Structure formats: C-alpha cells, structure tokens
Amino acid sequence: DGGITQSPKYLFRKEGQNVTLSCEQNLNHDAMYWYRQDPGQGLRLIYYSQIVNDFQKGDIAEGYSVSREKKESFPLTVTSAQKNPTAFYLCASRMVAGSSYEQYFGPGTRLTVT
C-alpha cells in the first residue's frame, strides 16, 4: 500500500528531553511537510523540504529541527527549547513536478510532554 506512515502514534516525554518523530512515505513524492495542530488554531507549518538535503523553516520553526537525508524520510526533532511541545503533529507530502498540487497527510503523532 502506498502512503505516509508516522510513528509512534502516541509519544510521552518528560520536559527537557529531545524527541524525534518519524515520517516515511512511499509515494515517490518530492516535497514533505511538518505541521502542528492545536485545538482552535488549525494547522501551522513547522518545516518543509522540496528536495533531499534541503529544507525551509515554516511559521513556527523555533524549537524544532529536521533532516532530509533520503527522499522517503523526513524526521522531526522536538527539542527542549520548544516551550509548548504538547500537540498533534502531522506529516504531509506532495509531488512537485507536473501540475499536481494535492497534499496528502499521514495519520499523525500525538506528543505529550509533562
């Protein structure tokens, strides 16, 4: 099955610890995105990457880091510098070439930091 996988589904961490969220896609999509979703605030862009070894900050990149070493993978690290890390994190991807602009989402990771 083609799609986007995120793991784990639920993640619990203590304050002060870094944590890495996994995102893998087998859709052969070029671009990958990380969003954060909080109640009443919609989706906010953290980072995105159009090609391997290149990525750009989104609106709320502070306290987060990413890497794009492979086309299929775009892991997100939530660092201890992120003041309010508890949220629902969504990974997405899309084709860049051609006239297709549809973006597809993974199932999400719910991170709770106490």
Q: Determine which residue in the list 66, 106, 111, 113 makes contact with other proteins, applying CB under 8 A.
A: 106
- Least distance from other proteins to the Cβ atom of residue 1, Å: 15
- Least distance from other proteins to the Cβ atom of residue 108, Å: 5
- 110 is a contact residue toward other proteins (CB under 8 A): yes
Write the CA distances from 98 to 26, 68, 70, 102, integer angstroms: 18, 22, 21, 11
- Tell me which residues in 18-77 interact with other proteins (CB under 8 A): 31, 33, 40-43, 45, 48, 50, 56, 58
Write the CA distances from 63 to 23, 25, 75, 99, 110, integer angstroms: 18, 24, 14, 34, 17
